Amino acid sequence: MEYNLSFPTVNENVCCQGVIRTTDADFFVEEMMDVSLTGEGEHVWLFVEKRGENTDFIARRLAKHAGVREMDIGYSGLKDRHAITQQWFSVYLGSRPEPEWCLLEDDSLQILSHHRHSHKLRRGQHHANRFALRICQLEGDIASLEQALEAVKHRGFPNYFGEQRFGRGGANVNKAAAMFERRIKATKSKRGFYLSAARSFLFNRVLAERINQNSWLKAPSDGPLYGELPRDLVDKTFENDDPNGHVGCSQLERVIFEQYPALTKGLYANRLKMEGRPLSVVPQNMSWKVLGDVLEVGFLLPTGSFATSLLNEVVNYRVFERSYPSEKE
């Protein structure tokens, strides 16, 4: 089955085009974390700046340098590879002395600070990400671009999962379906990617239909991350007699879910719980300027929202093509 990864935008008349990620510096991300580090404990929290590397690769470097298992490394979120990103990692050392972190530093990794703490860093623990982006080779109607940016600043944008979630050509969704149907086996880490891709795809399809119906800003304001409804809520929903198992779903959502039985049955079989995700996001502290053929835009987004989903509402962008050694993918 083919999974259509083309999702409608609210702004149907995007009048500018450009290129993103021409250099790593064009895509800057900073994790925003509210945590009081104790200064003592069995874990070391490091705030690092990475350039041109993915999060898992840096985690492996930290584990090797500290002489610990990869499972002893914690991080809050996966960050873009083709970017400069500042993010937190934790390293479980127990009572062992800290290694010399500065020996890790090179062109791709800088240790900005490090502190002892009593707990491991957990996924999703940061509350927001700050973005500073450059869109180069900008062409088109700048006045319309300004209007689109103003609309996003005040109204918000559809909270789609970005294309990064689905892998190149949607490979992660196809692999999710193959895994559910036992046509392929997956490692624990890959399994997590595929489950997430399947849920994200279904959410995007629901949001796409809400946009087509012009109801994406109306109640209910959350869309579904597919799974089974918590047991204590099953008996409270008036839709608990749904023969297809889509308990607690709206009619719109049922229609969409029934188009993708391989994904819904697979997610249900993996005992994922039904969760909600906002259909729209209003960026905070958003500002921009156009300098010649470059758009510079900055904003703050809550954890889990994608900067590229915002960009889709204001510019038709393409990603600068680069090649990297395959072993770091």
pLDDT tens for 289-304 read 999 999 999 999 999 9
Would the pLDDT of 236 be above 70?
A: no
Question: Could you tell me the pTM of the whole model?
Answer: 0.91
Is residue 28 one of the residues assigned to a domain? no
**Considering only CA atoms, which of 48, 46, 94 is closest in space to residue 68?**
94
Among left, alpha and beta (phi > 0; psi -120 to 50; other), residue 106 is beta
Residues 214-238: what's their mean pLDDT? Answer: 75
pLDDT higher for 229 or 39?
39
pLDDT tens for 104-134 read 999 999 999 999 999 999 999 999 999 999 9
Is residue 328 one of the residues assigned to a domain? no
Residues 174 and 269 in one domain: yes
pLDDT of residue 172: 95
Residues 118 and 227 in one domain: no
Residues 144 and 288 in one domain: yes
Q: Which residues are catalytic?
A: 80
**Residue 47 tokens, joined:** 């705030």
The length of the chain is: 329
pLDDT of residue 275: 92
Residues 57 and 100 in one domain: yes
Residues 186 and 227 in one domain: yes
Residues 142 and 100 in one domain: no
For residue 201, give the CATH number of its domain: 3.30.2340
- CA dihedral over 9, 14, 17, 23, signed as positive or negative: negative
Residue 181's domain spans which residues?
160-281
Residues 52 and 40 in one domain: yes
Cβ within 8 Å of residue 286, ≥6 positions away: 149, 152, 153, 297, 298, 299, 300
Domain count, the chain: 3
Give dist(CA 274, CA 199) in Å, integer. Answer: 10
Residues 236 and 134 in one domain: no
Residues 273 and 164 in one domain: yes
Residues 42 and 109 in one domain: yes
Would the pLDDT of 243 be above 50?
A: no
Residues 203 and 313 in one domain: no
Residues 202 and 229 in one domain: yes
pLDDT of residue 325: 54
Instruction: Report the share of the chain in percent with pLDDT over 90.
Output: 82
**pLDDT band with cut points at 50, 70 and 90 for residue 168:** confident
Is residue 288 one of the residues assigned to a domain? yes
**Residue 157 tokens, joined:** 């944008």
pLDDT of residue 231: 52
